[in-house]
């Protein structure tokens, strides 16, 4: 019997600082959700040996760097019972979109990914985790035909261009959630002045990473 790279009990320990630290009320993942994270991590490790999904190679490092950051964002952005429509732009290895879906199973999620190989990984991951209400759009963001109440963006190249595309996907009154470096966070309100930007939220265990959430004003 193959053992998981990181067992669910250890995953819960590693994720606790991200789910329980302020701001916001503390949260936790149930047994089924932790099993999903474990299966996700195992598949990520296997595929990462063939296509470069993440530069982080250590399994526990993947949990804290990728899953931790994503679940921290989930706790700030969605309630566990949320039925919002969400888009994850440039989804890559599925962060933060799929952890948001694990955290809030009723979320209607679309992962936007232009790389055929990465999109194949995302589709396999959705099948492996038996997730419903998740679509993988294989193409560029500018070709996507709809908007959403919540759009997420993390770890993309050519940030300014990606930011502009992401903004066009946010519905009136919707939110744009960015997991970015603090330097990018400081520049973003000037790059996208039409949005309303509260102060960025520092991400636990990351000296220069923030969650920045802007609102597209109605009207």
Q: What is the CATH number of the domain that holds 40?
A: 3.40.50.150
| End-to-end Cα separation, the chain, in angstroms | 57
Does residue 3 belong to any structural domain of this protein? no
Distance CA 218, CA 131 (A): 32
Contact 156, 150 (CB under 8 A): no
Which pLDDT score is estimated for 3?
60
**Total-model pTM:** 0.95
Which pLDDT score is estimated for 2?
61
Does residue 45 belong to any structural domain of this protein? yes
Which parts of the chain sit beneath pLDDT 50? 1
Which runs of consecutive H residues, i.e. helices, occur in 30-181? 31-48, 59-62, 69-77, 97-103, 116-128, 159-168
Does residue 2 belong to any structural domain of this protein? no
Does residue 80 belong to any structural domain of this protein? yes
Which runs of consecutive H residues, i.e. helices, occur in 94-156? 97-103, 116-128
Does residue 16 belong to any structural domain of this protein? yes
Q: Is the peptide bond before 48 cis (omega within 30 degrees of 0)?
A: no
Does residue 35 belong to any structural domain of this protein? yes
Query: By residue range, what is the domain housing residue 106?
Result: 8-215
Number of domains in the chain: 1
Which pLDDT score is estimated for 24?
77
Which pLDDT score is estimated for 210?
96
């Amino acid at each position: 019997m193959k053992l998981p790279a990181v067992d669910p009990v250890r995953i819960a320990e590693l994720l606790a600082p991200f789910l329980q630290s302020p701001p916001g009320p503390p949260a936790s993942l149930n047994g089924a959700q932790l099993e999903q994270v474990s299966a996700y991590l195992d598949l990520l490790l296997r595929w990462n040996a063939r296509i470069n999904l993440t530069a982080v190679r250590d399994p526990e490092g993947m949990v804290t760097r990728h899953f931790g950051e994503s679940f921290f964002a989930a706790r700030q952005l969605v309630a566990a019972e949320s039925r919002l429509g969400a888009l994850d732009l440039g989804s890559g290895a599925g962060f933060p979109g799929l952890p948001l879906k694990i955290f809030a199973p009723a979320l209607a999620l679309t992962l936007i990914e232009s790389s055929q190989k990465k999109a194949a990984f995302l589709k396999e991951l959705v099948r492996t985790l038996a997730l419903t209400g998740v679509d993988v759009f294989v193409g560029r963001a500018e070709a996507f035909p709809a908007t959403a109440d919540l759009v997420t963006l993390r770890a993309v190249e050519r940030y300014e261009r990606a930011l502009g595309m992401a903004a066009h996907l946010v519905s009136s009154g919707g939110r744009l959630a960015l997991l970015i470096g603090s330097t990018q966070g400081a520049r973003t309100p000037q790059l996208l002045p039409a949005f309303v930007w509260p102060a960025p939220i520092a991400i636990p265990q990351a000296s220069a990473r923030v969650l920045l959430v802007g609102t597209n004003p109605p009207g």
